[in-house]
Amino acid sequence: MRKLESLYRILFSLPDPRVSALISTLLALILGILDLRFLYLWILINLSCFFGNKLIGLKFDVKRTFSLSIILVILSIPSILIFGTPSSSYFLFLSVLYFCSESGILRSSVLSLFPYILVDPSVTTVLVIFVSVLLLSLFLKILNKKVGVVNIRDFVESFILFWLTSEPRYMEKFFLNSSDNSVGKVRCISIGSAKLVSTDFHPGPFRNVGGALLVKKLYENGLIYLHSPTSHSKNPVAAFEVERIKSCIRCEDYKLKPMKPFKIEGKKFEVFCFPFDKIKLIFVSGKNAIDDFEVKSGSFVVDCHNAHVPGFNASSEVGEIENLIKIAETKESFETNLKHSFFKLDVSTRSICNYISALLLDYSGERYALIIFDSNNIKLEFRKRVEREVRKIGYIPIVLSTDNHEKTGIRVKESYRPAGSCEEDWEAFRKILHKLKSPKFSESKCSYGESEVRIRTMSKRLIEDSKLATNDAGKFIATFLALALLDYLLPGLTLTLGW
């Protein structure tokens, strides 16, 4: 899944629309002084893009339009000055109109030819346009390759339209076509005013696509999401599947009696167990690293997802995790009184998506603090800093993230930014810390509920095939560049051959 998300990193970011328009206009005017055909081409490309939004569903805003027009004009400079035709950049313009709209190659070809024909209605221009259409058709045929369940052309077209518009329907349709039926549990523990929800599904893949809405939708209903032992193969493929999960949440099927919590140490992981008479709430924390892992258990198991290390694979360490969970499940405890205090802070930073929440649990004087960052993992140094501050005021800390992918890949260099990556995160936590120093505890009525739901999820096969497909990305990019270069040289080639 990270290979799909990392595609965002290679997409360039553009300046502010006003800056883009100003730079593009100034360059066009300067080039127009050299040769008016540059200015005419720039104007006609801009007009084609503006009309293209209505005529072919082109997904271009102002900054992309002005940036594209000046790039194409600059690429046309040698062609116009040497051969008298701007057509060397036509293949690129045609490709942009095709991939960045919902139209087919015929409509894209008709719209894209007008700037070039009007600037230079020569045989050479017409011939280059005809060959360019053939070359793009050839590239689309090459791209129409299937790797397992993944059609590369469908993926590329869906991904580009999603990136341009942020409309999840493009990627959700692609994922839905290759999805699996999955049955999973939805669990909820209510501790006083705090309702903690876990599912057998994963809050991904990215941004606002499918399951990436899960954490936010639960939070809007006053529910706090706890990341379960699951993986990206269990990502709900569409927003309506998230709604189906939400509709199944039950928190009050059984009343619970709280029992004294305990901790179990392992070599690389530690487990905090909060037992009740009918269910055990078990938190798995990584001492130095943790990421998605999968285990089967009848308990309410939580992957704290609280120690980010790039490239770490928790599946290789799952044996220790399973052993610690089994020990926690068999260890006996005894009833005790429980008081709680729960509060949350709405906050959005570059890494925190919607909130930080704190659930304070007082077991007859032994106090725990569950600090939940709505983020994609947590920097280890930041977590340890948080733990130190919480211990100073008399709590045993458990710090965890929701593994929310809502902000994954929104901007260049922001993919996989864990909590603690910016000073804003610390400033937000300090507000929570201030509340921890003067909490209002109340008696805790506890209850539990669970249900089962069947939804469409991204399959393991889709994940693996997507990885294989992205491995071939370099070959397709090289093929496209080779065809673009061939097209770029066509004006000179046609004149050399006397066409």
Domain-wise residue ranges, the chain:
2-139, 183-455
State the virtual CA torsion across 91, 94, 95, 101 in degrees, nearest 10: 180
SS3 411: coil
SS3 69: helix
Q: What pLDDT is attached to residue 432?
A: 94
List of the chain residues with pLDDT < 70: 1-15, 409-416, 495-499
Max intra-chain CA distance, the chain: 95
In whole angstroms, what is the distance from residue 458 CA to residue 200 CA?
13
- Is the bond preceding 205 in cis, omega lying within 30 degrees of 0? yes
> E strand or H helix at 88, and its extent?
none
SS3 212: helix
Q: What pLDDT is attached to residue 15?
A: 59
Residue 264, CB half-sphere, CA atoms under 13 Å: how many? 20
| Nearest residue to 279 (alpha-carbon basis) of 327, 231, 328, 246 | 328
322-325: long-range pairs with CB below 8 Å, 24+: 322/295, 323/266, 324/264, 324/266, 324/269, 324/270, 324/271, 324/284, 325/271, 325/282, 325/284, 325/295, 325/297, 325/299, 325/301
Which residues make beta-bridge pairs with 303?
Answer: 284
Q: What pLDDT is attached to residue 409?
A: 60
SS3 225: strand
Q: What pLDDT is attached to residue 49?
A: 96
